Amino acid sequence: MMFLGLIVAGFAAYWVYNDAKGFGYDNGSAAMWALGTFLLLIVVLPLYLVIGRKPQYKRREEPTIDIEGTAVEDTMLCPMCGGKVRQDYNACPYCSHTLQPKCTQCGRDLEREWRTCPYCQTPTPGK
């Protein structure tokens, strides 16, 4: 990182040197401008790299963290693939395993533990 700063400072100094000569400065004066630029950059660049880049100025986290954080209470693991799914999902979005079984006969929602539909006594397909 320091090496990169030196390269940038070198290029800036080189540009200043040529630019100053273009404005009629002699070689010595142009070199002074270039040296000043170089010194300023090799002072300011490490200063920025050490002090300026503080962790709190890192880019903001992706909003997916928030979604997972708020939904953590009603999440569970898919019994088929182990993916994180919500309690109110009807099917696993990862493997399309049915999470909320419905009775094949009457179409009512069934609990996962039930072996028989309590409404029409049809055996549940899962177990």
Q: Enumerate binding residues for Zn ion (CB under 5 A).
A: 78, 80-81, 83, 92, 94-95, 97, 103, 105-106, 117, 119-120, 122
**CB-count exposure of residue 70 (10 Å: 0-12, 13-18, 19+):** exposed
Give the whole-angstrom CA distance, residue 125 versus residue 112: 10
Q: Which is nearer to Zn ion, 10 or 122 (CB)?
A: 122
Q: Which is nearer to Zn ion, 39 or 77 (CB)?
A: 77
Q: Which is nearer to Zn ion, 41 or 78 (CB)?
A: 78
Give the whole-angstrom CA distance, residue 56 versus residue 118: 56
What's the closest the beta carbon of residue 96 comes to Zn ion, in angstroms?
Answer: 7
